[in-house]
Amino acid sequence: MERTRLLRITTVPISLHLLLKGQFRFMREQGFDVYTMSAGGKEVSEVLKEGGEHIEVPLTRKITPVQDLICLGKIIQVIRTIRPHIVHTHTPKAGLLGMLAAWICRVPVRMHTVAGLPLVEATGLKRFTLVITEKITYFCATRVYPNSAGLKDYMIQSMGAREDKLKIIGRGSSNGIDTVYFRRSDDIEKQVDELRSKYGIRKEDVVFSFVGRIVKDKGIGEIIKAFRRISSQAETKVYLLLIGSFEQDLDPLSKEDYDFLHNGENVILAGFQSDVRPWIAASDAFVFPSYREGFPNVVMQACCLMVPCIVSDINGCNEIIQHEKTGIVVPVKDAEAVYQAMVMLMEHPRLRTSYSLAARNYIVDNFDQRFVWKELLNEYNMLLQ
């Protein structure tokens, strides 16, 4: 009996490794031949650990028309060689080129997952271009999968996407979360003690953390304004811990904010970390006032590690955090609200405990990884039939 051939495409390999980790091995165990595709990068070796074949195509995250046409040709060649039954894409550039190539090659099942839209914060010609590319992607796909209810509503109301072509897998999220891996353990607690000791953080000090790209659209400016104000007022010593990389070429911070993060007192820049668990667990509150998201994994990770969260009132975030039940939800781009929420959690340790317990229980009940994978497998099988 012929095995089902599945091709998964993202723009860069870190998306395959971090956002879809575990899915490829699971699908291979279900009888699929899994191929992955992305630009080159150090994370390719991690993707290959799940088995299957990885194909490198020089995709870029920027608007590069000539390079994009070259990549389109390469993707068409690959599809004609391996003849996949399913092409499933993620991220805007991979979605556009992957779905277009799959449509040209008449692949039977063409699926695109939407996990956040850059066009939400874009204006003018850039927004127009991004809207057109999304519409082309959706046209070429047989089915499109927003990974949150709020994102689905936005696509219908603001982009004119066809509701009958959209579907959410499970209750949202592109990959769910491994609730066993992301839990506090003796080993994690030991690493937490080591990290806090390394940076001279006392038990009574309060650490606010963030994980993600350190860019304007993630609400870093609002975090900095709130943190600077708290630092100048609080009797307790406070720290700001940022885990992630800067992208000054794509979405730059202001010079003032950039300089503050590199020179400010009690700011810890951890850089990219392959294992974020001890870093998140070393903090007392997680702050994520992003301007746009799909269904952010890092918020679920913080919840599972029992670190209370402050998130912005956007799709995805407000589906994970229930205001004043499992965390605090604040208006978008509102530094004052971020400040008030940070003060609230800083001054009320019992509230931190209450939110963190409720948040972990909610994530375990609704977004466990195996549940999401099984729902995706059911979708594959249904479309193949």
Rounded to an integer, what distance in angstroms lies between the CA atom of residue 184 and that of residue 140? 43
Rounded to an integer, what distance in angstroms lies between the CA atom of residue 332 and that of residue 351? 23
Say if residue 240's pLDDT is above 80. Answer: yes
Beta strand 327-330 with 309-312 is parallel
pLDDT at position 171 is 87
The pLDDT tens digits for 76-120 are: 999 999 999 999 999 999 999 999 999 999 999 999 999 878 777
- One of 1.20.120.450, 1.20.200.10, 3.20.20.70, 3.40.50.2000 is the CATH number of 186-366, namely 3.40.50.2000
CATH code of domain 4-176+369-384: 3.40.50.2000
Main-chain dihedrals φ then ψ at residue 236, nearest 5 degrees:
-80, 145
pLDDT at position 360 is 97
Say if residue 57's pLDDT is above 80. Answer: yes
pLDDT at position 1 is 63
Beta strand 309-312 with 285-288 is parallel
For residue 221, what are its two tokens?
């400016």
Asked if the domains 4-176+369-384 and 186-366 are classified in one and the same CATH topology, the answer is yes
The pLDDT tens digits for 262-279 are: 999 999 999 999 999 999
pLDDT at position 19 is 87
Main-chain dihedrals φ then ψ at residue 329, nearest 5 degrees:
-110, 130
* CA 164 to mean position of chain CA atoms: 25
- Average pLDDT in the 11-36 region? 94
In the structure, what pLDDT confidence band is assigned to residue 182 with cuts at 50, 70 and 90? very high
Mean pLDDT, rounded, of the chain: 95
Say if residue 250's pLDDT is above 90. Answer: no
CA distances from 224 to 230, 238, 308, 310 (A): 10, 12, 19, 14
pLDDT at position 63 is 82
Q: Where are the domains of the chain?
A: 4-176+369-384, 186-366
pLDDT at position 110 is 98
Rounded to an integer, what distance in angstroms lies between the CA atom of residue 243 and that of residue 231? 20
The pLDDT tens digits for 305-322 are: 999 999 999 988 999 999
- Average pLDDT in the 344-369 region? 96
Asked if 342 contacts 219 with a C-beta cutoff of 8 angstroms, the reply is no
